[in-house]
């Protein structure tokens, strides 16, 4: 859709559909230039709503024929809808037949039916099915699908769609066909087809319930050896959903297909998931530990949608978090359960919170802020956001914590008893949770709890402690507030579970006894903050304690508390809650960073005082802590996270201060980094498990630090060793880590290493993506990155139409390299504007994601702010913008 048609859709305007579609029988004659689609539907009026014409959605279709009950009919076109006004009255079923054609080879948006490497794929969520045929393309219309695919057999030997293969055979002229029937009703966004030259890894499994299933992972010939991890992840996902939630696979056959041209990560089409190759293909020589972990979690995520999303779906797209927030929560829990140890679980939790705070908190404070259940949108594709996903998952996690693990399982059970096979709302989910747990704090505070779904913005919780030595009591006062967001000037109080403990001056956990209680109840408790302000008093406290608040990040809020440096050092050294231990270190580092950033003129060196370095060394050398956890503690807060804490952002200064801090950490702990590197080698066969990956992560950080230190000292030993490691590494994690250490320290060995890396992996698209991303994301030295990025775009392997490749260069620069992107000459912003406009001409979804890179422009210091506004205005001035990009830049420029 192009300019002029953009109208906002309002949540409260929801009305049930005027017709139901009971069955759909689709026949495809697949041809890249012109595919014919015969769509036979059996529909019936929805007698619950006033009689009205049938309006079917359709986009970029050529309509050849419409028939009603076997005969001709009158119809008209209105905008992008096919309108039938004279359908028979009453409740008798109506047979509707629509014949259209479309051009998959010309589909550069990768929404609807498209061709990638001579293979047909579909992507229908959210509104792509209307680009395949005319339909009631909305999630509350659930139908039974039968699909016949016909195509040239030599070119397209594999023909797949949802459900079970019921018939297949040869046709004349070298063609063949396959007929598929889906046993489950589904909304149109879950439809899929795939046709091409593919091969599959197959696995038969028996479920707990005793049923047999066939699992298949389809890839291009040559990629088969790289599918083992995806298949293992799929088997683990099936077993996990049965064990943890009693949810079994409801299909005889479950297929995953990988494609290298995909806008998103992966898609949960019923029984036929379609994945970006990035989240399927892995071998130790081409994929890093992070890739392995991502594959496990994305395979899990899409599989878990089979129940949370597909069996119970969304009534309308405002309810998107019903399936996405819940399914992210489920995939997070799956990854934690797979990781095993408490420490590995904590590491996963910290990683998830880091994403929430560096991406979602800024979204919630910026022009695109919206509630977990939004109230309006122009383009639904713009609302697949970290708020819907990550904050939505936090809202589910709070419910989990408020009703307990078993209570949550009961709530899920009731949710399925009530709503299986239906399209429902976020309210229906929380209601089931509360009804299954009537005595829980969730049930007691249900109405105010629901504000997490309706109010945008990140709440702030301020904590103040008062110790009374005479009475031996400690009173904690918690107060909450939430800043205004677009369209929501004031907020009502949230229900905020604050999990906490108290530490003595010696670091020991203090038993918690609330005033009035006869005895202590362990060393950890939860206060549910429901009022603007609440106080709680603990008795029998012998000395001034240090509060450990919001343990495990028990609510998605910003916690403000006047910790002294000594308090934070105590928490970092002793807290029994690993999350807060990490958090204490981050707070200390943040404090040092912000002090230097805000200091007038040059900052004082050294930036890192001895106490801080000593504490970091203690963590690094602590034999009781896991390597993965150490790596997180020893990593300074990101530039994006530091920026979020400041009212006015000078990205260059943030970058310079953080780099200076890193350099000091590298030099001051030099001997410790050598020790860490040597002690955390992983000899023997490569295994991507959490423990081995943690060791490699810490060794990788150590190598990065040793190269940084060498940059200052002129030492050649460690860069040399790093180059050697780069050449000899037995896996991609170590090889890429070494390469990144050389590039990150701008060593002269970086260029030969990059060349060698490219030569080694010239035929591995996913590895080349890493190669591009590393260079576009490298630390800026005197403005050298933008010219490098421009040069990368002229490289023979650069293709802007491939989303992964476009992201590897353009997004790595604009989104993930603030020190290089924010230039005082505005050239980074001009580059951004050019790319948004360029991408928008063929793929609005990808363009619109890039447009979001400027969300926080209002916080920038001059001259960045003015230059940023000019760049955004230049994009907004383009008259042919897609709705996707138009919505983002309009919000961005809107007065607050
Ligand atoms: N349903 C989405 C895929 C999707 C997203 C379709 C946006 C249409 C528009 C899928 O379940 C999903 O959430 N995928 C994520 C990865 C996931 C692990 C969070 C993605 O593609 O980024
Ligand atoms: Zn999802």
C-alpha 764 – ligand 2 centre gap (Å): 27
Ligand 1 binding pocket includes 577 (Cβ within 6 Å): no
Mutation to probe ligand 1, out of 111, 272, 302, 385 (largest number of atoms < 8 A from CB): 302
pLDDT of residue 2: 44
User: What span, in angstroms and rounded, lies between the C-alpha atoms of 617 and 629?
Assistant: 14
Q: Is 767 in contact with 286 (CB distance < 8 Å)? A: yes
pLDDT of residue 6: 77
Alpha helices in 202-283 (DSSP H): 228-245
Closest ligand relative to 293 C-alpha: 1
- Kindly report the protein residue whose alpha carbon is nearest to atom 6 of ligand 1: 125
- Regarding pTM above 0.95, the answer is yes
Nearest atom (ligand 1) to Cα of 298: 18
Closest ligand relative to 273 C-alpha: 1
- Kindly report the protein residue whose alpha carbon is nearest to atom 17 of ligand 1: 298
Name beta bridge partners: 522: none
pLDDT of residue 5: 58
Longest dimension (CA), the chain: 96
Buried b (16+ CB within 10 A) or exposed e, 265-288: ebbbbbbbbbbbbbbbbbbbbbbb
CA nearest neighbour of 849 among 811, 890, 876, 798: 811
Task: Indicate the burial class of 218 (C-beta count within 10 angstroms; 0-12, 13-18, 19 or more).
Answer: buried
- Taking CA atoms, 668 is separated from 385, 550, 569, 665, in Å, by 40, 32, 18, 5
pLDDT of residue 3: 42
Ligand 1 binding pocket includes 390 (Cβ within 6 Å): no
Residues with CB in 5 Å of ion ligand 2:
324, 327
pLDDT of residue 1: 40
Alpha helices in 4-88 (DSSP H): none
C-alpha 164 – ligand 1 centre gap (Å): 24
C-alpha 551 – ligand 1 centre gap (Å): 29
Which parts of the chain register pLDDT below 50?
A: 1-4
- Kindly report the protein residue whose alpha carbon is nearest to atom 18 of ligand 1: 298
- Kindly report the protein residue whose alpha carbon is nearest to atom 10 of ligand 1: 267
Q: Is 280 in contact with 295 (CB distance < 8 Å)? A: yes
Ligand 1 binding pocket includes 301 (Cβ within 6 Å): yes
Tell me the per-residue pLDDT of 666-719, one tens digit each, with 9 for 90 and over. 999 999 999 999 999 999 999 999 999 999 999 999 999 999 999 999 999 999
User: What span, in angstroms and rounded, lies between the C-alpha atoms of 864 and 875?
Assistant: 17
19-29 and 193-196 strand pairing: unpaired
Q: For the beta carbon of residue 789, count every other beta carbon within 10 angstroms.
A: 25
pLDDT of residue 104: 99
Q: Which residues are catalytic?
A: 302
Phi, psi of 174 (to 5 degrees): 75, 15
Q: For the beta carbon of residue 97, count every other beta carbon within 10 angstroms.
A: 17
Establish whether the linkage from the previous residue to 126 is cis, with ω within 30° of 0: yes
Mutation to probe ligand 1, out of 267, 804, 849 (largest number of atoms < 8 A from CB): 267
Query: Crossing angle, helix 342-355 and helix 320-339, to 10 degrees?
Result: 150
Ligand 1 binding pocket includes 125 (Cβ within 6 Å): yes
Q: Is 80 in contact with 69 (CB distance < 8 Å)? A: no
User: What span, in angstroms and rounded, lies between the C-alpha atoms of 142 and 137?
Assistant: 10
Ligand 1 binding pocket includes 323 (Cβ within 6 Å): no
pLDDT of residue 896: 65
Task: Give the tokens for residue 561.
Answer: 């508390």
Alpha helices in 714-826 (DSSP H): 717-728, 732-744, 750-760, 765-776, 785-793, 803-806, 812-814, 818-821
Tokens 């804490």 sit on residue: 645
Ligand 1 binding pocket includes 274 (Cβ within 6 Å): no
DSSP letter string over 318-385? GGHHHHHHHHHHHHHHHHHHHH-SHHHHHHHHHHHHHHIIIIIHHHHHSTT---SS-SEES-GGGG--
């Amino acid at each position: 859709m192009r300019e002029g048609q953009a109208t906002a859709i309002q949540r409260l305007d929801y009305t049930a559909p005027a017709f139901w579609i009971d069955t759909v029988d689709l026949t495809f004659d697949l041809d890249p230039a012109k595919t014919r689609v015969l769509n036979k539907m059996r529909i019936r009026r929805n007698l619950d709503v006033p009689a009205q014409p049938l309006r079917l959605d359709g986009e970029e279709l050529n309509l050849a024929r419409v028939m009603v009950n076997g005969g001709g009919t009158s119809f008209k076109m209105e905008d992008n809808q096919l309108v039938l006004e004279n359908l028979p009255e009453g409740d008798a079923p109506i047979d509707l037949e629509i014949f259209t054609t479309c051009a998959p080879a010309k589909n550069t948006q990768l929404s609807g039916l498209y061709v990638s490497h001579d293979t047909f794929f579909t992507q229908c969520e959210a509104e792509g099915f209307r680009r395949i045929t005319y339909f009631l393309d909305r999630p509350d219309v659930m139908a039974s699908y039968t699909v016949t695919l016909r195509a040239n057999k030599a070119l397209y030997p594999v023909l797949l769609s949802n459900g079970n293969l019921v018939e297949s055979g040869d046709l004349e002229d070298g063609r063949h066909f396959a007929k598929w029937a889906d046993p489950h009703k589904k909304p149109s966004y879950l439809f899929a087809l795939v046709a091409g030259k593919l091969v599959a890894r197959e696995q038969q499994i028996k479920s707990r319930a005793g049923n047999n299933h066939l699992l298949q992972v389809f890839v291009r010939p040559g990629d088969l050896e790289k599918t083992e991890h995806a298949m293992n992840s799929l088997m683990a996902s099936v077993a996990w959903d049965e064990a943890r939630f009693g949810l079994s696979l409801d299909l005889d056959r479950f297929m995953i297909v990988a494609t290298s041209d995909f806008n998103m990560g992966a898609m949960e089409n019923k029984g036929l998931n379609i994945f970006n190759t990035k989240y399927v293909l892995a071998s130790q020589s081409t994929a890093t530990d992070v890739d392995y972990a991502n594959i496990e979690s994305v395979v899990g995520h899409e599989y878990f949608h089979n129940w949370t999303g597909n069996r119970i779906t969304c009534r309308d797209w405002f309810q998107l978090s019903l399936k996405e927030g819940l399914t992210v929560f489920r995939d997070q829990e799956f990854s934690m359960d797979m990781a095993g140890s408490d420490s590995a679980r904590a590491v996963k939790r910290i990683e998830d919170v880091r994403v929430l705070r560096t991406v979602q908190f800024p979204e919630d404070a910026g022009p695109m802020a919206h509630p977990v259940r939004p109230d309006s949108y122009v383009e639904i594709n713009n609302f697949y956001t970290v708020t819907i996903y990550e904050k939505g998952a936090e809202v589910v996690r709070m419910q989990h914590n408020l009703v307990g693990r078993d209570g949550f399982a009961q709530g899920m059970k009731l949710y399925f008893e009530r709503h299986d096979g239906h399209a429902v709302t976020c309210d229906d989910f929380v209601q089931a949770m509360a009804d299954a747990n009537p005595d829980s704090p969730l049930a007691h505070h249900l109405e105010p709890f629901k504000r997490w779904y309706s109010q945008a913005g990140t709440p702030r919780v301020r904590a103040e402690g008062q110790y009374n030595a005479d009475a031996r009591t400690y009173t904690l006062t918690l107060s909450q507030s939430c800043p205004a967001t677009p369209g929501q000037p004031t907020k009502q109080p949230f229900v905020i579970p604050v999990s906490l403990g108290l530490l003595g001056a010696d670091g020991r956990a203090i038993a918690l006894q609330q005033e009035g209680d006869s005895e202590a109840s362990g060393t950890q408790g939860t206060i549910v903050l429901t009022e603007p302000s609440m106080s709680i008093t603990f008795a029998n406290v012998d000395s001034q304690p240090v509060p450990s608040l919001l343990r495990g990040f028990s609510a998605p809020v910003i916690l403000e508390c006047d910790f002294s440096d000594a308090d934070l050092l105590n928490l970092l050294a002793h807290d029994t809650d690993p999350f807060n231990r990490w958090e204490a270190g981050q707070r200390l580092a943040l404090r040092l960073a912000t002090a230097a950033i805000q200091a007038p003129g040059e900052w004082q060196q050294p930036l890192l005082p001895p106490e801080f370095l000593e504490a970091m060394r203690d963590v690094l050398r602590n034999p009781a802590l896991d390597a993965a956890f150490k790596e997180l503690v020893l990593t300074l807060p990101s530039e994006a996270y530091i920026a979020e804490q400041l009212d006015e952002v000078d990205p260059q200064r943030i970058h310079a201060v953080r780099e200076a801090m890193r350099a000091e950490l590298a030099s001051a702990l030099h001997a410790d980094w050598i020790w860490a590197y040597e002690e955390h080698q992983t000899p023997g066969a490569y295994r991507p498990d959490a423990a081995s990956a943690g060791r490699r992560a810490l060794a990788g950080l150590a190598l990065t630090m040793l190269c940084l230190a060498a940059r200052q000292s002129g030492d050649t030993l460690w860069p040399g060793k790093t180059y050697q490691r780069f050449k000899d590494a037995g896996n991609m994690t170590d090889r890429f880590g070494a390469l990144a250490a050389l590039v990150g320290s701008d060593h002269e060995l970086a260029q030969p290493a990059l060349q060698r890396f490219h030569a080694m992996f010239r035929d591995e698209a996913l590895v080349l993506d890493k190669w591009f991303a590393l260079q576009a994301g490298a630390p800026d030295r005197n403005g050298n990155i933008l010219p490098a990025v421009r040069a990368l775009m002229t490289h023979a392997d650069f293709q802007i139409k491939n989303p992964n490749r476009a992201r590897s260069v353009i997004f790595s620069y604009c989104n993930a390299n603030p020190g290089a992107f924010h230039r005082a000459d505005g050239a980074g912003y001009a580059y951004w504007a050019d790319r948004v406009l360029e991408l928008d001409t063929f793929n609005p979804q990808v363009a619109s994601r890039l447009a979001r890179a400027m969300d926080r422009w209002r916080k920038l210091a001059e001259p960045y702010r003015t230059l940023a506004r000019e760049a955004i205005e230049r994009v907004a001035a383009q008259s042919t913008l897609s709705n996707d990009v138009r919505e983002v830049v309009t919000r961005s420029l809107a007065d607050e």
